[in-house]
Amino acid sequence: MTVETDEVGVVVYTGNQLQSGMDIYSVPSRKFLGICLKTQELPDAIHHPYFPSYVLQADKNYSS
């Protein structure tokens, strides 16, 4: 797998807490069923002064 992005961070979501009894796209869910890699700005950056600032100003546009 290759991921190309201009974002500086990656958040990993896993299916570790999935419970049975629910279907996801017609597939019965179960623990550890999936994983998602989401590229984005650095999580919690606002609380770390050495991270880049990601505060969106009212007069600025945002695109992703």
Q: pLDDT (tens digit, 9 = 90+) per residue, 24-43?
A: 888 888 888 889 999 998 88
Reference 33, options 49, 52, 14; nearest CA is: 14
Task: Show the beta-strand stretches assigned E in the chain.
Answer: 9-14, 23-24, 27-28, 35-40
Residue 12: pLDDT band (50, 70, 90) is: very high
pLDDT at residue number 5 = 92
pTM of the model: 0.62
pLDDT at residue number 64 = 66
